[in-house]
Chain A
Amino acid sequence: MNKSLCYLMICVFSASIIVISHTAVSQKKQSTVSVLPLLENISVTSFDICRSNPKVLYAGTDEGVMKSTDSGLSWKIMRENPNAVVFVNEVSPDIVYLYEAG
């Protein structure tokens, strides 16, 4: 076989592999997301958001029930009972239900 023809075939074959690999990667590719850790160094055992005002979050932590009004960027302790399970009313972010075990 002609040397240059052989070289051409190898190039075409390699290019096909590259195209196939790229397609496989594209199908598996996840959407780009950014991840921000919240309440680092605090044990968060539950949380809930208010559906009507989703910037309001409550978290049950080992330090007590904490509230955020800015999508989790800052937090304030609202009640010092540790590890409560929190449920926020869907309509009013001021109505919160707690389940405190024990």
Chain B
Amino acid sequence: MKTADGGKIWSSKIVSDSHLMNGSFAIDPRNMKTIYILCIDNNKNIYLLLKSSNGGSFRTVIEFKPHRYPNAICFDPINPKRLFLSTDYTGTQTSKNDAGILLTIDGGVSWKPILKDACYHMDITASGAIYALSSKGIVVSKDNGASWNTIIDYKALSINSYYINSSTIKADEKNKLLYVRFTVTNTTGRDRDTNPYLYKFLRIKL
């Protein structure tokens, strides 16, 4: 929503604001009027990446394929020319092939994959380190995605990545802490009819 009169009148500038979550919008630190937003088009049931260059009107940059699920968009704080986008997939093997983390350096015109494993969420720290919840575990890259190291796998967290429904990762570089949150489908619990999801919120000391 946007207001131009100090909050008296608000107007919607986004196709739909459902599924708004941490990481679903990014403001260019070089120009606060350049905004990227991830949202869902409820009519087509597909996700969109929208961009505004004037802080108000949005145009579609990416119309994602069905079953492809973008979940975070972040500027590199060291070099804000670099914009990262993480995507997951649901269901089909076809969409699995192009999930991961993508990088653009031309404002969203072209995208290059820097992580080819499906990614549930990511965070970029002030030093430029990229922390990601990938399908293979919690991983980090300190060289702009050229190489990745596994911090911990999901088995060690007693999580089956297949059943992750949503998740968030945030890094506190100063205190060497990672915070991760998972909503996981409850497949085995005796109470799964009344509690279809299990929640985990963890602090990981690096």
Residues of chain A having any CB pair with chain B under 8 Å:
30-31, 33-39, 42-49, 51, 54-55, 57, 59, 71-72, 85-87, 99, 101
Distance in angstroms from A100 CB to nearest chain B CB is 10
The CA-CA distance from A101 to B84 in the complex, in Å, is 27
Contacts A47-B179, A71-B175 given; does A30 touch B202 at CB 8 Å? no
Interface of B is mostly: strand
Q: Which residues of A contact B78 (CB under 8 A)?
A: none
Chain A CB within 8 A of B168 CB: yes
Q: Quick one: given A33-B204, A44-B181, A85-B20, are A55 and B126 in contact (CB under 8 Å)?
A: no
At the interface with chain A, which of B4-12, B44-52, B146-154?
Answer: B146-154
**In the assembled complex, B22 has its CB within 8 A of some CB on chain A:** yes
Query: A99, B174: Cβ atoms under 8 Å?
Result: no
Q: Please, how many angstroms separate the alpha-carbon atoms of A57 and B22 in the complex?
A: 13
Is the C-beta of B205 less than 8 angstroms from some C-beta in chain A?
yes
Where chain A touches its partner, the secondary structure class is strand
Taking the closest CB of chain B, its distance from the CB of A77, in whole angstroms, is 15
Asked if A31 and B151 sit within 8 Å, CB to CB, the answer is yes
Within the complex, the shortest CB–CB distance from A42 to chain B, in Å, comes to 7
Q: Could you give 11 example pairs across A and B, Cβ below 8 Å?
A: A30-B150, A33-B205, A36-B205, A37-B202, A44-B199, A45-B183, A49-B172, A54-B172, A71-B175, A71-B177, A85-B20
**Cβ contact of B201, chosen from A30, A39, A87, cutoff 8 A:** A39
- Closest B residue to A99 by CB, please name it: B20
Interface code B11-27, partner A: CB below 8 Å = 1, 0 otherwise? Answer: 00000011011100000
Cβ of A40 to closest chain B Cβ, rounded Å: 8
State how many angstroms separate the Cβ of B51 from the closest Cβ of chain A: 19
A46 interface neighbour in B21, B150, B172, B197, Cβ under 8 Å: B21
